[in-house]
Amino acid sequence: MTRRLAVALVAASLLPPGALLATQKAFSSRTLGVRVDVLVTDGRNPVAGLTAADFELRDNGVPQTIDIVDTSDIPINAVLALDTSSSTAGQRQKDLVAAGEALLDGLKPDDRAALTTFSHVMAPGIGLTADLAEVRRALRGIEPDGETAIMDGAYVALTATLAQTGRSLVVVCTDGYDTSSWLQPAEVLESAKRSNAVLYAVTAAKARRRSPLQDLTDATGGHMLQVTSSGDLRGAFQKILQDFRSRYILAYSPQGVSVEGFHRLDVRVKRRGLAVKARPGYVGVARSGSAR
């Protein structure tokens, strides 16, 4: 694929999948349709060097012709959504800030970052910016207080990635349970299906119940990491960025399927023994306002 093609495809794919299709008529000459962010691993290690020929992708059961986009020149939008409820005070706060800074350290000059903190109060304080020093300052200014609204926080972070150029990574980190969100898990899940962001979650290990964040990571092709102590957060954040940089973007113009509704995606690798992580589907919207 030429560099120009790659850029055009990525530019088109930066909107939510539904929005992409919504603009299909107006921008049909340059639309390449849908992009799917895919992680391939061999054991715990990401696999590099695969080509489009190594993949099979079906959209609602229909095989599609895919391209692989060169991700090396596509900037990353890293959105940190950090739980700053009162339980994170003390060492957890220090470790959380250090983890956030470690992720920022791993970004390249063209990458951008955003910071949303949440207790029961949402603080979408720093929108996507290339000024990482600003994000660092905000990180260091975190003041834990209040209760926990994880779903609201995840939603606000997802909205930061809407209609953005680049690849969007959302990292949600919490040490607790959702006690005060307005938005319900099913509602945020619907929003995640309309976003192109890949959501990773970092939670405390030995949780007593299944986290709704698991559904969000599954729906976006991300992953949920559990840490046994806040001292492990730094390594977890670094691994997330490493994994994200190792992902492939598969792009295609949907053929043989209708535009609207939920599209079930099935991504496979032909080589045996490799595991594939990708979003299971997306919501297609033919035109604005028609998704009801």
Binds another protein by CB under 8 A, chosen from 124, 231, 261, 280: 124
H or E element in which residue 30 lies: none
Q: Which residues of 90-128 are buried (b: 16+ CB within 10 A; e: fewer)?
A: eebbebbbebbbbbbebbeeebbbbbbbbbbebbbebeb
Under the binding rule (CB under 8 A), the answer on residue 191 touching another protein is yes
Under the binding rule (CB under 8 A), the answer on residue 210 touching another protein is yes
Provide the token pair at 13.
């794919």
Question: What CA–CA distances, in Å, run from 141 to 17, 137, 265?
Answer: 35, 6, 41
Under the binding rule (CB under 8 A), the answer on residue 238 touching another protein is no
* Segment interacting with another protein (CB under 8 A) among 45-53, 62-70, 142-150, 244-252: 142-150
Provide the token pair at 152.
């609201």
Q: Which CB sits closer to another protein, 109 or 289? A: 289
Binds another protein by CB under 8 A, chosen from 152, 167, 217, 254: 152
Task: Say which residues have a Cβ less than 8 Å from residue 206's Cβ, sequence separation at least 6.
Answer: 226, 228
Under the binding rule (CB under 8 A), the answer on residue 160 touching another protein is yes
* Segment interacting with another protein (CB under 8 A) among 38-46, 64-72, 84-92, 261-269: 84-92
Task: Say which residues have a Cβ less than 8 Å from residue 107's Cβ, sequence separation at least 6.
Answer: 76, 78, 113, 132, 241
* Segment interacting with another protein (CB under 8 A) among 38-46, 130-138, 156-164, 224-232: 156-164
Binds another protein by CB under 8 A, chosen from 64, 168, 181, 203: 181
Under the binding rule (CB under 8 A), the answer on residue 123 touching another protein is yes
Residue type, 263: H
Task: Say which residues have a Cβ less than 8 Å from residue 159's Cβ, sequence separation at least 6.
Answer: 124, 191
Binding site for another protein (CB under 8 A): 15-16, 18-19, 22, 85-87, 120-125, 127, 146-148, 152, 155-156, 159-160, 162-163, 176-183, 187, 190-191, 194, 208-210, 285, 287-292
